[in-house]
Amino acid sequence: MNLIVFLTVCVLAVSALPLEEQTTRIHGENGWYVPQLGAESKWMSLEEAEGLLEAYESLNTMEIAQRLSLNAVSFYLYTQRNPTEGQLIQATKASIDASNFDAANPTRFTIHGWNSNYQDGVNSGVRNAWFLSGDYNMIAVDWARGRSLEYASSVAAVAGAGEKIARLVDFLVIEYGMSLETLEVVGFSLGAHVAGFTAKQVTTGSVQKVVGLDPASPLFSYDKPEKRLSSNDAYYVETIQTNGGTLGFNKPIGRAAFYPNGGKSQPGCGIDLTGSCAHTRAVSYYVESLRMNNFPTIKCSSYQQAHNKDCGSTYSTVKMGASENELIAVGDFYVPVNKQSPYGLGDSGVEDTTTTLQPTTIVVETTTNTPSEVISDSTSAATPPGIETTPTPAPEGDKDNGRKTNIYILNLIFVNSTINM
């Protein structure tokens, strides 16, 4: 026990931040404000981040060599026959044959972000919205390292989680004839990058569509598209960017990038210093768009124009989140929104109250040490309806439940030894 405590202290000392003037820190340029669970976000320079991520990425090699399950990925299938109770499936014929999977129906993968699991809002909300229009193979992904206490550990596990999802995709294509042309992979925050790495690593063809809901920016470089969600990962990549410069990206990383309220802050989020409200609002917007198709957009010539809400006043033919976007949407779009649900300004002609969003979980922070470019709206409460920003525990019966702390200690020991080497 003393050894573990000593190694933990060593790792924390290695990652301690030097004193810097706030004005020299440019989030996403020379470092990042990195989320911390239940504590202040911390500034990390490019050099520190690269060293830490390199050490954590070595865990993937160790996992393969030692056959450990530090990055276990589980899949839960929902269909109209089992809309609320997921079937745990694996990439085997026995598992799929015993499930309700039907290759004749379109397939959707949904992927949670940091400190969450397959039962959160991006999975349940998107699933329930799609079920309003027909039958689908809705596969909720649960990736264990997404619940690491250390954000950098989860970032380093993104590519590995995407690879395991890609293996299931390839298996379903080869063994059951699942169509890639009707496949969509949706991810929130860190899960958006997992979605990107899924599409990158599918070997049986090109994934039709990836939707990134405010893809996480801390520890991801815009200049390294091979290490994040990229517009070239699938035939069509759409991003809904709601908290640029804090937890999400400013610059567009999809073929079509949508900027609700300019893409930095969201109305109705109050004094949203951490950005968590604006960040999770991407999920609420997307779910509403699937249900109601009520988000008209204005085409912009640049993402800066979208940030400044300076794209004119003429609506385009594109609606955020619309199913036909893969055929028509290219470029950057400003999306005006309301401060409460319904958020979209369009008239959908549809009113649905049959489905309630489950909590979406991201960072729980109390910091005031955030980038200076954060814009706040103090007009109302900081949390959107139906969305919580409190930690979601591992689901009951989950095979890694109760092991999160142990995995974290293993991470710390391994990273410490790697850095010292």
- Tell me, what's the pLDDT at 99? 98
For residue 29, the model assigns a pLDDT of 85
For residues 309 and 394, give the distance between their C-alpha atoms in angstroms, rounded to a whole number: 40
Structure tokens given for 308: 């400044």
Query: What pLDDT is stored for residue 129 in this prediction?
Result: 97
Widest Cα–Cα separation across the chain: 65
DSSP 382: S
Domains and CATH numbers, the chain: 47-420 (3.40.50.1820)
Tokens for 397, please give them. 């019966």
- The residue length of the chain stands at 421
- What was the pLDDT predicted at 368? 32
Which tokens is 393 given? Answer: 């525990």
Name residue, tokens 């567009």.
Answer: 252
Positions in the chain whose pLDDT score sits under 50? 1-17, 19-20, 349-410, 412-421
Q: What is the per-residue DSSP string for 58-110? A: HHHHHHHHHT--TT-EEEEEEETTEEEEEEEE-SSHHHHHTS---TTS-EEEE
Here the contacts of 399-402 (C-beta below 8 Å, separation 24 or greater) are 399/69, 399/72, 399/74, 400/69, 400/72, 400/144, 400/147
Contacting residues for 331 by C-beta, under 8 A, at least 6 apart: 256, 257, 299, 300
